[in-house]
Amino acid sequence: MNQWTLGIIGGSGLYELEGLAHVRRERVETPWGEPSDALTFGELHGVPLVFLPRHGHGHRLPPSDIPYRANIAALKQAGCSDILSISACGSLREDLPPGHFVVVDQYVDRTEGRERSFFGPGCVAHVPMAKPVCSRLSRLAAEAGTAAGIALTPRGTYLAMEGPQFSTRAESELYRQWGMDVIGMTNMPEARLAREAELPYASIAMVTDYDCWRDDSHSVDVALVLDVMRDNTVKAKRLLDRLTAALSGQARSPGPDGIETVLDTSIITPPGARDPEVVGRLAVIAGRALV
């Protein structure tokens, strides 16, 4: 693939993108059902974009009920070359205040019960996750945010919790002891599934609040979070404008992390032992590697 086609997964507060050219919306179906909402196709600075609101328009879906597999499969089917996740998060560090952005480079996954793989009985794969994000797209996103004048930290560890409730204070203090930087509910299993689909993935975590660990602060309050979220959404759109301007006219080459071919060394079930029905379903996200 020699052209950037950027899939944008919009989190809390980011339900649509304005200013796109050649806009069309399309409802799609995947072997894992329908995604969270219709896909919006368009261009920004000549760069093709495919936008998907993670929670659906109107924020209809809580974190545990987001169809993560369908979302990633839909973006793969739509021809995306890369995925940029934009999501709200809480801060576990004093120096990451509300309004600050963090480009995530690591995860600790504390989610429970979510379907976290396209593979399974009939065709087994084990993709590496030591480096769970695309280093190139993460760097480009960080550079775009800085150019847009956004206070931004280029690396950070995201604690993925199940939700939908926020943390207890004991949990929040424990995560700080672990060295976590931000906390959210949606980047897992999203990042895992993007890796299985051989899609380079980067995540911008937008801080909306300090998690409840601060003795001098109130517990997380949705009304206060929404106020910060509105400002963060404006900044996220500025970042995306800078990012697409930087990508405009650039040919896309394979990334430095080998993500686009990761399944070449990850599928362990030999061809003769694979379930044809499972292989047929996987063709959407892994067809290149299953031939």
Q: Which residues are catalytic?
A: 209, 211
Tokens of 159: 């604690």
Q: 157, 103 in Cβ contact below 8 A?
A: no
Helix axes 135-147, 222-247, angle to 10 degrees: 100
Residue 220 CB partners (closer than 8 Å, separation 6+): 90, 166, 167, 209, 211, 212
Angle among Cα 75, 80, 84 to the nearest 5 degrees reads 80
> Among candidates 143, 147, 151, 157, which has minimal Cα distance to 95?
151
Q: 158, 106 in Cβ contact below 8 A?
A: yes
Q: 82, 6 in Cβ contact below 8 A?
A: yes
Q: How far is CA 86 from the centre of its chain?
A: 6
Residue 245 CB partners (closer than 8 Å, separation 6+): 45
C-alpha atoms less than 13 angstroms from C-alpha of 242 in its C-beta half-sphere: 18
Tokens of 157: 């560890």
């409802």: which residue's tokens?
27
